[in-house]
Chains A and B, each alone.
Chain A
Amino acid sequence: MTPERWERLQSLFHRAAALPEAERAELLGRECAEDPELHRQVLGLLAGSDDSALLAGPLGDLAGDLADELADGLSLPRRAPGDRVGPYRLLSELGRGGMGTVYLAERADDAFEQQVALKVVRGVIASPSAVERFLAERRILARLQHPNIARLLDGGTTPEGAPYFVMERVEGEPLDAYCDRRRLGVRDRLGLFLTVCEAVQHAHRNLVVHRDLKPSNLLVTDDGTVKLLDFGIAKLLDPTGDGAGLTRRGDLPLTPEYASPEQVRGEPVSVSSDVYSLGLLLSELLTGRRAQRLTSPGAGRSWQEIERAVCGTPAARPSAAAGRASDGASDEVPPEARAAARGTTPRRLRRRLRGDLDTIVLAALQKDPARRYRSVEALAADLRRHLDGLPVEARGDPLGYRARKFVGRHRLGMTAAALVVAGLGASTLIAGHGLQEARREARVAAEISDFLERVFRVSDPSESRGRTVTAREVLDSAATRLEGESSRDPEIDVRLRRTLGTVYADLGLLESAEPILRRAARRGQEQLGPDHEQTLAALTALGSVVYRRGRYAEAEEILRRAVERSRSALGDDAPQTLAAANNLGLAVWRQARFDEAEVIFTDVLRRRRRLLGDEDSDTLASLNNLGLVHLMRGEFAAAEKIYRRAWRSGQRVRGADHPKTLDALNNLAMSCAGQGKLTEARDRFEELVAERRRVLGPEHPRTLGGMAKLGDVLLQLGDLDRAEALEREVLAVRQRTLGPDHADTLFAKAFLSRVELARGDLEAAGRLRREVLASRRRVLGEDHHDTLQSLRELAELRRVQGRLEEAEALYRDALARFERVAGASGYWTIATLGDLGQVSLLAGRTDEALARLAEARERAERAFPDDAELRGTLRLREGQALAAAGRDAEAVESFRTAAEMLRGEDRKEALRLLARVGGATATP
């Protein structure tokens, strides 16, 4: 399909979808009269979009949702004792779980004499989602090897295609009955409960949430070993986990008495759901009374009723529940009997529970997950502190407060973490859900889960007691762990490293990003080959970070390599090639090789226009970059045209406060400022700074960039106080975050020196300018555009100080270099020639001044006919020289022209001179 057709299809679809069904036919009949194929396609799309069941949830459910509807009601013959499933013979039905039936079974071939628990999807032909869930369960269980978790022994598929798996058979009694029968006291019960916590923690470390923790799933064997059963509704925390569909309301195979509020509401479930369920379990173990009570038992309960009971009723304190009398429910045991089962009296039990245990249970039973213990570890640790007689944490620290603060303060980090997860999730889908790839996929999923588990363990408060875990620390821990591991699939490995490096870079942590990306690129090269897409993506990401760290020549080298390989491996038009080429153009541009950059940007822009259309965001980025070339060449009128277009398109396509739209606004403002349209420039910059402060925050590099430029315009408009305050703020932040030699820090210093100069503090201005020049010479080299600007600025200062010989020498040096770099008609060549003319004038060499200024003016008229500021400034100076030479009539003419061309202070200066010289000529 051609891009044009694809666009047309989308636009028609959106238009038609917005209409009532009756009017769609008319629209399509009209628009597709000559294109029956398009007509058919749009109809297909509309049918797809109207089927609201499709893709209603995470994509992984798609297949499941479709098939579940059809599969409901279709049932297989029930299995009976004596039937065979794989190599197993069924002995009896043990029970039914949410999705399967569990049988007692044994090997039919008598290979071992071991009785096992065998679970088969019950009565339902294996729907894709059921199969997926089942297989997930198998994978999870295979990974969970813990003495307190029932082990997975085997698995397979029945002839009908229904999968089954075989688990260690556990003979024992439910935890609560076991405790009661033995009349275990509070301390012993807590000991057993802590064992349960360990098993659940183990599952959590494997990214498994149990979601159905209840006494009947916790068996205690004769020798006193606790075993966790039935991970039937466990959900992988990994977003590719197949349990996602289980969160749908009405479809929940959970036990409401032990469910968390978020489970009942059908919201995403995480480790804190298990914390909640464990809290219920603990409360019941301690008091003998169910902590979450539903009024009407049995099948008659409505979801509303359950939701009210679970979400609306605050949990009772265990000390209060222990003494509460029977409320008439049939299964209710009087308080005396419950206390007796704990080897104590109701009064003593109440006293034992009051305080720490009340606090701990209530902290686990918060309705809002963010207010609960953040992990089972934290809950267990508090219980251990209680057993050791230490103060518990739940009491002293308002957990919810801290948790909310964490999320609030680290939203960016949370997004970053989500990004890592999302990137990986997608890769596993694309990498292979194919049949042949099933094995590889399982390994990949396991590797990624292991990796994430270890990454996110650090965000557990128990591993970082007393400190606030920052997004930075989570990333650092990820990076450290990534280094230690090399067994991973190389493609996943490179992708993982690139993602992590990019996240660092996006957080502005360039120093940390670079080594990770460097290693990603190297590993890609070694393991996948230099032409592999992942290698090239890593190389491009590395080049961008080196660029952003200000090492432009090195970035150029890296990106050039990426572009060349990408061209030959993926083609000239491949997005990867164009992305690398675009960044290469920036690296070249930053080195002030504007002509070369223009060629690159123009080529990328042309291709993107063709491939993506005029208003695609990548196309707009290229347009923006091409504008940069004009901007830096001083071709402000051309730049203004480009940026006005980019800004307008950006507002339409991306929204007014989108960062890229704001970039265009920034550059438009710069183009205005460059042409002396200062009030428009100021207003645009004010708009920009306000938006960036709001969107990006006050210390973001781009906010600072806007502030610096606003300060510059304010300086030109004579608002020195505001200008200085802005520039000082910018400089301070950049020195702290970027270091003293970074290009942007030096820009801030140079700007500040101009404010100081305007204030008349020549000492301070001189010191700043010498520092900037020295840094730039060292970092950028003698001929770099910025170094040359520094030369001009220092020369300007010497001129103002009256040290004219020094000024002349510095300007001459700058002029020679500008001429070599940009030619005789370059903007800065002309401007510098004008500067020299001014020095001649001040030194009293009037003829030399006239010659220099006339030459500069003529060049400016030829090369920059639209640049009023440049031409006006040169006119003004020429007028001064003419006046000095006694050619007053010509001088008046020059001042008049200059006054017309200039704005702001410069215009006032021209008018003042005009009045003086004009007045003088009028006097006889």
Chain B
Amino acid sequence: MRRSPSEEVLALDQALERLARLDRRKLRIVELHFFGGLTYEETAEVVGLSPATVGRELRFAKAWLADQLAAGERS
């Protein structure tokens, strides 16, 4: 069933909460990059990782969040 806008945002919030439990570092990177609007380089500077690692972490986090949201949509 399609979610209403607020349900959509709640689902995202919940997915982020789950990510926080699994992998705090990824959550922080997601927050900084997607939410804070920091570039890979800036994010890398803040969390003390290389930009390449940040990119790798984001690729996974993105895929994971998208899958979580899609799974919520399917159920």
Query: B67, A415: Cβ atoms under 8 Å?
Result: no
Query: B60, A433: Cβ atoms under 8 Å?
Result: no
B43-54 near A? 1/0 per residue, CB < 8 Å: 001101110110
Query: B23, A6: Cβ atoms under 8 Å?
Result: yes
**Closest Cβ neighbor of A576 among chain B residues:** B24
Query: Pick the contact of A44 from B17, B46, B70 — CB < 8 Å?
Result: B70
Q: How far is the CA of A124 from the CA of B40 in the complex (A)?
A: 35
Query: B36, A421: Cβ atoms under 8 Å?
Result: yes
Q: Taking the complex as formed, is A793 at the interface, i.e. its CB lies under 8 A from any CB of chain B? A: no
Query: A654, B53: Cβ atoms under 8 Å?
Result: yes
Quick one: which of A418, A423, A654 has the most chain B CB within 10 A?
A418
CB neighbours of B37 from chain A (8 A)? 58, 239, 268, 418, 422, 425
Q: Of residues 89 to 141 in A, which have CB atoms within 8 Å of B's CB atoms?
A: 126-128, 131-132
Query: A429, B45: Cβ atoms under 8 Å?
Result: no
Query: B31, A47: Cβ atoms under 8 Å?
Result: no
Query: A45, B64: Cβ atoms under 8 Å?
Result: yes
Q: How far is the CA of A432 from the CA of B6 in the complex (A)?
A: 11
Q: How far is the CA of A127 from the CA of B71 in the complex (A)?
A: 20
**Closest Cβ neighbor of A424 among chain B residues:** B36
Q: How far is the CA of A49 from the CA of B63 in the complex (A)?
A: 4
CB neighbours of A415 from chain B (8 A)? 42, 45-46
Query: Pick the contact of B5 from A48, A59, A127, A421 — CB < 8 Å?
Result: A127
Q: Taking the complex as formed, is A916 at the interface, i.e. its CB lies under 8 A from any CB of chain B? A: no
Q: How far is the CA of A318 from the CA of B41 in the complex (A)?
A: 42
CB neighbours of B45 from chain A (8 A)? 415
Query: B60, A10: Cβ atoms under 8 Å?
Result: yes
Q: Of residues 609 to 656 in A, which have CB atoms within 8 Å of B's CB atoms?
A: 617, 653-655
Query: A46, B38: Cβ atoms under 8 Å?
Result: no
Query: A429, B13: Cβ atoms under 8 Å?
Result: yes
B1-24 near A? 1/0 per residue, CB < 8 Å: 000111011101100110010111
Query: A435, B59: Cβ atoms under 8 Å?
Result: no
Query: B24, A575: Cβ atoms under 8 Å?
Result: yes
Query: How many A residues face the partner with a CB closer than 8 A?
Result: 55
Query: A300 CB to closest chain B CB, in angstroms?
Result: 35
Q: How far is the CA of A6 from the CA of B71 in the complex (A)?
A: 18
Query: B67, A658: Cβ atoms under 8 Å?
Result: no
CB neighbours of A434 from chain B (8 A)? 6, 9-10, 13
Q: How far is the CA of A161 from the CA of B48 in the complex (A)?
A: 45
Q: How far is the CA of A671 from the CA of B36 in the complex (A)?
A: 41
Query: B17 CB to closest chain A CB, in angstroms?
Result: 8
Query: A48, B32: Cβ atoms under 8 Å?
Result: no
CB neighbours of B31 from chain A (8 A)? 422, 425-426, 429-430
Query: How many B residues face the partner with a CB closer than 8 A?
Result: 42
CB neighbours of B16 from chain A (8 A)? 429-430
Query: B66, A54: Cβ atoms under 8 Å?
Result: yes
Q: Taking the complex as formed, is A840 at the interface, i.e. its CB lies under 8 A from any CB of chain B? A: no
Query: A462 CB to closest chain B CB, in angstroms?
Result: 26
Q: How far is the CA of A46 from the CA of B50 in the complex (A)?
A: 24
Question: Is chain B's interface secondary structure helix, strand, loop, or mixed overall?
Answer: helix
Query: A660, B35: Cβ atoms under 8 Å?
Result: no
Interface-located stretch among A60-68, A186-194, A518-526, A600-608: A60-68
Q: How far is the CA of A128 from the CA of B17 in the complex (A)?
A: 21
CB neighbours of B35 from chain A (8 A)? 58-60, 239-240, 422, 425-426, 429
Query: B38, A48: Cβ atoms under 8 Å?
Result: no
Query: B66, A55: Cβ atoms under 8 Å?
Result: yes
Q: How far is the CA of A617 from the CA of B4 in the complex (A)?
A: 40
Query: A55 CB to closest chain B CB, in angstroms?
Result: 5
CB neighbours of B52 from chain A (8 A)? 655
CB neighbours of A126 from chain B (8 A)? 5
Quick one: which of A10, A13, A423, A617 has the most chain B CB within 10 A?
A10
Query: Pick the contact of A13 from B4, B12, B63, B69 — CB < 8 Å?
Result: B63
CB neighbours of A60 from chain B (8 A)? 34-35
Query: A48, B22: Cβ atoms under 8 Å?
Result: no
Query: B62 CB to closest chain A CB, in angstroms?
Result: 5
Query: B13, A48: Cβ atoms under 8 Å?
Result: no
Query: A47, B67: Cβ atoms under 8 Å?
Result: yes
Q: Taking the complex as formed, is A35 at the interface, i.e. its CB lies under 8 A from any CB of chain B? A: no
Query: A67, B8: Cβ atoms under 8 Å?
Result: yes
With A1-B22, A67-B8, A415-B46 as given contacts, are A46 and B34 in contact (CB-CB < 8 Å)?
no
CB neighbours of B64 from chain A (8 A)? 45, 48
Q: Taking the complex as formed, is A17 at the interface, i.e. its CB lies under 8 A from any CB of chain B? A: yes
Q: Taking the complex as formed, is A185 at the interface, i.e. its CB lies under 8 A from any CB of chain B? A: no
Query: Pick the contact of A14 from B9, B30, B56, B69 — CB < 8 Å?
Result: B56
CB neighbours of B9 from chain A (8 A)? 63, 128, 433-434
Query: A660, B67: Cβ atoms under 8 Å?
Result: no
CB neighbours of A161 from chain B (8 A)? 4
Query: B60, A14: Cβ atoms under 8 Å?
Result: yes
**Closest Cβ neighbor of B5 among chain A residues:** A128
Query: A794 CB to closest chain B CB, in angstroms?
Result: 40
Quick one: which of B8, B22, B45, B69 has the most chain A CB within 10 A?
B8
Quick one: which of B6, B16, B36 has the most chain A CB within 10 A?
B36
CB neighbours of B20 from chain A (8 A)? 430
Q: How far is the CA of A14 from the CA of B5 in the complex (A)?
A: 32
CB neighbours of A575 from chain B (8 A)? 24
CB neighbours of A41 from chain B (8 A)? 67
Query: Pick the contact of B70 from A1, A47, A435 — CB < 8 Å?
Result: A47
Q: How far is the CA of A13 from the CA of B67 in the complex (A)?
A: 13
22 contacts between A and B (CB under 8 A): A17-B63, A48-B66, A49-B59, A55-B62, A59-B35, A60-B34, A67-B5, A126-B5, A161-B4, A418-B42, A419-B36, A429-B13, A429-B16, A429-B35, A430-B13, A432-B13, A433-B9, A434-B9, A653-B53, A655-B53, A658-B50, A659-B48
* 7 tightest Cβ-Cβ pairs between the two chains A and B: A422-B36, A48-B66, A59-B34, A128-B5, A426-B31, A49-B63, A655-B50
- If A14-B56, A55-B65, A658-B48 are given as contacts, then 10 extra A-B residue pairs at C-beta distance below 8 Å, sorted by A number, are A48-B62, A58-B34, A240-B35, A415-B45, A422-B31, A426-B32, A430-B16, A435-B6, A655-B53, A659-B48
